[in-house]
Structure formats: structure tokens, C-alpha cells
Structure 1
């Protein structure tokens, strides 16, 4: 059975759901024509037959877990482990190949900084677009636009085209939009690793504030220190499989042992 359910209605037949997200036997497979460069002979034969080699990539394999209201879940793993794919599935962006994904509440997603922005528009105009894309009404967006713009601390740059922005400035706009939409569920992928020290400190404080009001928060990061500090639950993915779930300190320790990295100030912020 394949099911993707994102319900803004928090009520169930038995009352308010104790869950924010439930994932059951989730598998996602990509089909791609990417492969190693063929030899001249292989290319000629394939061209003559009108064939294209198709490769299947199993990004997630039978992943199951549930997340109760009040959970701040960290998602860790090496590059290519399936972390971002899982976030996109929970956000309703990627349909499951197999399995179920159920989400209770409105999710605000920051899955890649700047994705979806119209670079020819100003930061302020993209704030409005981001709010509308999050499901807010025009009136709600207009009420919050000035607050979001001020929070970015970009000054006059907020009214300049975003194609003039640095990556850090774009990050500020993207993060500001995501965290000011008052989401039931907040999903952030690698957002806290971008920007200067002042912005990271401000972002951490905002995340702490959101943990008190959101039904759940998901944070994907290679900064294991941030995971340990901001999350009360953690899962570790490896090659699309769920390897471990538990307290962040325990999961991080097991992961670091697996990748054979000694714990230090450097490794806990970028592995």
C-alpha cells in the first residue's frame, strides 16, 4: 500500500492525535539514466538500438518510525544516506515508491536554502511569495512581511534583487520565511550551517523558541553539536536504511564510531 497523507486537520476520530508524523515501511526509488561514460562501441550499439541505460537508486529502504507531538528530531548520516529524501517525503514533495507517510498539521519546510526563490525579485517580494507558498492568505503574509524583513537584518538590501545577494544573505531570507510562518511542524535541512556567527546564534535562539510552540521539529545537519543541543530524539540513516533511533548523544556516538571519527570540537560540527 502506498499512502501520502498531509492533513492540516489535527483532529482524529478519537480526538487530538498524539502523533505529528508516522512513517511506515517507506521506500523511495529513483530511476535515472546516469551511468559511467560508455565506451565508443557501447555508445554506437546503444544509439543503433535506440536504447538508454536506466539505473535504479534505492534512496530509502523500508524506513519506519513515528514522532510524537513535542519531539525535536535530528536526522544524521553520511552524504547519500537518504536524509534529504526522507525530509522531502515527509513534506509531501516526493511520493513514496512503497509504504506510508502520515503528517498531522501544517509543515513549514526549509529543505534547501534559496530553492524556489525568484532571483530577479527582491528579498521582500520573495518573503511574500514564500508565505503564500506556505499556505498563508495574502492578508496574513502582508501582516508578517515587515517583521520577517526586519528579522533578516539585511537593511536596504531587502528591497534589492536577490541575484545581487551572497549565499549567506539568501540563507537569511530563506530561514526567516520558514520560521516566521508559525508552522505546526518545522522541517529544516542544513540551514543552521549557513551564515555568519551572529546569524547562527540568532537562528539557534529562534529554533529554541519554535520548539516550545510547534508540534514537532525535524533537523538534518552534519553539525552534530547542533543536533545534540537542539534535539531530544535522533535517527541515523545509512544507505537508505534506518540504523538506529534513540537519545541524540547515544545515536551520535554510534554514528561516529561507525564512520571511525574521534569526537572533537571540529568533528561534531562538520561530519
Structure 2
């Protein structure tokens, strides 16, 4: 419940900023997808692969699923929404440490509460390591803040496009694979822990598609973009079917049609995002 409570407070704070029209939807989405990518990188390395700490969220009877639920809350909800709030305040000040210090100290204090109440378990970790990453992370966020909120100049489009692609593809994986709906799982055999194997397998296959989109979409004419997006969709489906026949993709309540639909829907959302950002760029230039 502590994870739900923390996210609830942060979400209400974000909604209040949006209702007051303090942030544009372009800024919100940019901050969110950058937050997801950065969180995914560090969480995947330190939590899943190196197992330096774990999240006993008390939301499942299976400790492996508990940890993955904690990752979903931290990577996809708490930290990205916090970044949305943070960049709003950091972009308004000429002295970023006035914003960095209270946010970093608040998260250090929050982590100590999680640790004390048993919602966070250190294995080969320390509050000092977390403190370093909080200060470094918010300092990096302060650097990005004016680029995210004002788009003058904007963060390079390839970076935004890759972050958005990563977020969409990983969200569909988090929902339909484990630990939520458990409809399928990747098992490439890279790791003994089945959850780490699944998440890293999804991350690699998803980011291959994200890289292809990032490489080709920004440099081709708008008329050819639907064809390129369709080709990337076919590549994603082909990777999944190949993985299935090699035994690396296991269906539970899943099938080939749902696999194709999953990639088609994800790529369609990325295509809509690309058109949305292009129209915004044209509007800003006028």
C-alpha cells in the first residue's frame, strides 16, 4: 500500500499542475518517457541483473512478482511522474540547487521509510549509494528542465523518439507479460531468474525496434513514414515468431494474433506521436 500511497500523492500533484496549465502535454510526455528510460536502465542493472536490492512490495505472495511490481511502480510511475513535477519547478529558477536539495532529501527520507517498514530490502546496497543517485539524477533533471518545458532548444528529436518508443514497447510488455496478466513470457536463457530473463529479453527486442525507428524515421519524408513503421512492425512480429519457434517465447493465454496486434498497436502509437511532434514543430516555427 505504501507504493500506491506514494504514487497517489505524486499523481495528484501532477494533475494539479496540469489543471493550472503550468505544463504543456508535450513537456509532460517528454519528461515522462525520459524518466522511464533512465529508471529502466538503472533498475534493470542494479535490481534485476546485479540483485543489489529488492522491492518486497507486499502486493503478491510470490517474492519474484513482488519485486517486479516494485520495479513497475518505481520505473513507470513514481520516478517518471516525479520528474514531470521536478522539471516544472527547476525550469523556473536560476539556482537549480534550491530545487534539487529538497527533492533529493525528500526521496532519501522516503527511501529510509520504505526500508524501515520492510518495503525495500538492501542486499549489497547502502543509503549512501541511493543518495548519490538521487542528487546526480535531480542535477541531470535540472539540466534538462528548460529543454523539456520550453523546447528552446528542444531535446534532440531522436532522443525523444527513442525514449517514447522504449516506453510504449515496455509498457505493453509490463501489462501483458509478467507479473501482471502473465499471458506470455520471454525465456531466451540469458539468466537463471525467469523474471530477469523475461524483462531483459523484452527490453532487448523492444529497443531493437526503437533503434530502427530512431535511425530511419527522422530522415525520411512523411509520405514514406507509414511504410517504414509497417516494416518495423513486421520485423517485431518476425522476431517474436522466431523466438517462439526457438522456445524463447512462451505463450500462456496468448497467441500469434495477439503478438501481431501487440506490435501493430505499439508502433501505431509511436507513429501518432511522431506526427504529433512534427505538427508541434511546424506550429512553433510559424
Q: TM-score range by the shorter chain?
A: under 0.3
**Which structure has the greater CA radius of gyration?**
1
**Structure with a larger share of its residues in helix:** 2
The TM-score, its normalising length taken from structure 2, stands at 0.26
**Structure with a larger share of its residues in strand:** 1
The TM-score, its normalising length taken from structure 1, stands at 0.27
Structure with the bigger RCO (C-alpha within 8 Å, sep 6+) is: 1
